[in-house]
Amino acid sequence: MSPKLTVELLRQLRLAMKNCKYFPEPIQAYIIPSGDAHQSEYIAPCDCRREFICGFNGSAGTAIVTEQHAAMWTDGRYFLQASQQMDNNWTLMKMGLKETLSQEDWLISVLPENSKVGVDPWIIAADQWKNMSKALSSAGHSLVAVQDNLIDAVWQDRPPRPSTQLMTLGLERTGVSWQDKITALRAKMRERKINWFVATALDEIAWLFNLRGSDIEYNPVFFAYSIVGVTTIRLFVDLKRLADPAARQHLQLDGPKGPELSIQVFPYESAHTELQAVCASLGPRDKVWICDKASCALTQTIPKPHRSPIPYTPLCLAKAVKNSTEIQGMKTAHIKDAVALCELFAWLEKEIPKGTVTEISSADKAEEFRSQQKDFVGLSFPTISSVGPNGAIIHYTPLPETNRTLSLNEVYLIDSGAQYRDGTTDVTRTVHFGTPSAYEKECFTYVLKGHIAVSAAVFPNGTKGHLLDSFARAALWEAGLDYLHGTGHGVGCFLNVHEGPCGISYKTFADEPLEAGMIVSDEPGYYEDGSFGIRLENVVLVVPSKPKYNYINRGSLTFEPLTLVPIQVKMMNTDMLTQKERDWVNNYHRQCLETVGAELRRQGRKEALDWLIRESQPIA
């Protein structure tokens, strides 16, 4: 991986920063966040502005360019990758390390007095704008909205915004019609005396209307906004997409309809002006809900007395708790996904000794096996297929120049998942095809202990996921080890593989309590720079638990693994496991064997079945 050369780009950007065509006065710094106007984590090529300017293409990072400096902040998953992708015009700011300055503090430390810091108000979230603006003002600087994006101004061949075909999902997939979802949303609005709700997150809009798209790779979403009032529904999309009769029928755009559940459609670009029109008609006490993570531009369109920002929208909360149709779909998807992975591992065992399997070809093979499964749509994120030292790059994606050959001598980590029409998967297994070292086994076993500690945890109703994070780390900590990422994220149902508002991470405090029906990942790891990476990830469903007692009738919860792929026993130092942990492993493997075995038999996949049977044998 050679770094992107950015001398010329930075020169042009700095010229634009002084060009009064974009802002009346010169700006001394320009912030390039990684998101799009919907604050998406994964973004379309036309929105990859931070990657364009600095070369780093991980999913999280913010670049800031001043007249003298260029710096890029990212988290522990990406330290290695970012340092390899950026040239020496850029300083890597390692978030989460004590010595690393925050963006605000760094700006204050490098800016001349009375500086202007520019940002595209559509790309920066309202809450980030607020914090940044406050910090800068307190030091005598100011944050200013530059309406034309300065990266776009220097980006010669920027791709167009995608507009893919919409896919409609019926009740057999979603369990709830979009009409009922609108009605439930309005009930929440009534409860809180809210008159309008502005939806800006693409997965929330897709979920609300039971529609999917493929505008953004890996995430089955489409570019849209929606404004829901007490009696009106506005949907903003590229109108060409609505020529499709299936979509028109699904949204009931033609023919008779009740007035409160009829959708008015508008071009995608008119969300701003329509919101202005809505706001112009507000009564003195009318309130508009908008997520505090929505864009600063759209948020500030709502006059402050009418604005009611919320950390998580009612759609985000409703979407997180899967209904029984969705849970069944997720289970089915995970069984198919496990079939594909059993195939992959059986195939790898056979092929690796020939010395022809690489990180890329293994990832491709995994995709091939997945694509053979019913209702496969695509991958849910770029496959992390990493051998030996590449495994220590937490969100590594193999490139031709880094592509390493799988061998009998190195640890192999594969973190992959798919979108099926019935659900989304995300699974990580770390395996060795030869003989792992005692140290590799030791580290793997700490990670396994952490994985089990979370998966088997019993906790009261109302517990927030961040309170479980330390369970995943206790065994590593005791050995003096750790990992620099959270333990789990929410997972959508045929939607984004990362979703809020729940998760398991030391970094969040504002997460919503876990509830039965929520689905999260459980994925502790350990990474030894230059040597190997270990991660063990299952997607797990929050389910009621029935412990011995029921303190003040609060009820208890635990997790049920949806991912059903054996965990390699060869990588375990089973002497380090407690009896309870051994029982967990054996019980898990029995479930894998029963459920996935039956499907492998049904699909007549003999080799994969043999592999599954062998890998699911109980440990003593």
Q: Which residues contact its own copies (rule: CB under 8 A)?
A: 98, 138, 140, 285, 308, 457-460, 462, 464, 467-471, 473-474, 477-482, 506, 509, 547-551, 554, 556, 578
Q: Which is nearer to its own copies, 435 or 477 (CB)?
A: 477
- Other CB atoms within a 10 A radius of the CB of residue 378 amount to 15
* Closer residue to its own copies in complex, CB, 266/506: 506
Q: What are the strands, taking DSSP E only, across 563-617?
A: none
Q: Are 429 and 567 in contact (CB under 8 A)?
A: yes
Bridge partner list, 419: 378, 424
Find the shortest distance in angstroms from Cβ 533 to its own copies.
Answer: 14
CB proximity list for 25: less than 8 A, separation 6 or greater: 116
Shortest distance, CB of residue 466 to its own copies, whole angstroms?
8
CA angle 157, 163, 168 (to 5 degrees): 160
> What per-residue string of b and e applies to 293-314 under the rule 16 or more CB within 10 Å gives b?
bbbbbbbebbeeebbbbbebbb
**Closer residue to its own copies in complex, CB, 249/578:** 578
Q: How far is the CB of 287 from its own copies (least distance, A)?
A: 9
Q: State the nearest-atom distance from the C-beta of 185 to its own copies, in Å.
A: 21
Question: Which residue matches tokens 């595209």?
Answer: 120
Cβ atoms of residues 72 and 91 within 8 Å? yes
User: Is residue 199 a contact partner of residue 188, using CB atoms and an 8 Å limit?
Assistant: no
The DSSP symbol for 14 reads: H
- The identity of residue 442, as a single letter, is E
Task: Kindly tell me which of 127 and 274 has the beta carbon lying closer to its own copies.
Answer: 127
What does each C-alpha distance from 377 to 218, 434, 461, 489 come to in angstroms?
A: 9, 34, 35, 22
CB of 545 to its own copies, least distance (A): 8
Task: Choose among 579, 488, 505, 495: nearest CA to 539.
Answer: 488
Q: Where are the beta strands (DSSP E) in 237-294?
A: 263-266, 288-291
Cβ distance to its own copies smaller for residue 79 or 420: 79
Shortest spacing between CB 566 and its own copies, in angstroms: 26
Secondary structure element (H or E) that encloses residue 18, with its range: helix 7-18
Q: CA 546, CA 562: separation in Å to the nearest integer?
A: 19
CB of 498 to its own copies, least distance (A): 21
Displacement of CA 186 from its chain's centroid (Å)? 27
Q: Which is nearer to its own copies, 222 or 527 (CB)?
A: 527
For residue 501, is the peptide bond before it cis, meaning its omega torsion is within 30 degrees of 0?
yes
Cβ proximity to its own copies: between 110 and 253 the closer is: 110
We find the least distance from the C-beta atom of residue 193 to its own copies, in angstroms, to be: 9
Nearest to 91 by CA among 74, 112, 116: 74
- By beta-carbon proximity to its own copies, the closer residue of 177 and 470 is 470
Question: Closest CB to its own copies among 129 and 209?
Answer: 129
The whole-angstrom separation of Cα 193 and Cα 205 is 22
Structure tokens at 281: 């008609």
Whether 524 and 483 have beta carbons less than 8 Å apart is answered as: yes
Nearest approach in angstroms of CB 183 to its own copies is 24
Residue 224's beta-bridge partner residues?
A: none
Shortest distance in whole angstroms from residue 476 CB to its own copies: 8
Task: Report residue 327 CA to chain centroid gap.
Answer: 19
Which C-beta is closer to its own copies: that of 160 or that of 509?
Answer: 509
Structure tokens at 597: 């075995």
Provide the minimum distance between the beta carbon of 41 and its own copies in the complex, in angstroms, as a whole number: 23
Whichever of 270 and 461 has its CB closer to its own copies, that residue is 461
User: Least distance to its own copies from the beta carbon of 554, Å?
Assistant: 7
Task: Give me the least distance between CB of 204 and its own copies, in Å please.
Answer: 24
Q: How far is the CB of 133 from its own copies (least distance, A)?
A: 15
**What are the two backbone dihedrals, phi and then psi, of residue 24, each rounded to the nearest 5 degrees?**
-55, -30
Report the sign of the C-alpha dihedral through residues 340, 342, 346, 352, in that order.
Answer: positive
Q: Give ∠ CA 109-111-112 in degrees, rounded to 5.
A: 120
When the beta carbons of 8 and 99 are compared against its own copies, the nearer one is 99
Closer Cβ to its own copies, 375 or 515, answer by number: 515
Nearer of residues 38 and 473 to its own copies, judged by Cβ: 473
Tokens coding 175: 């369990």
d(CA 533, CA 385): 11
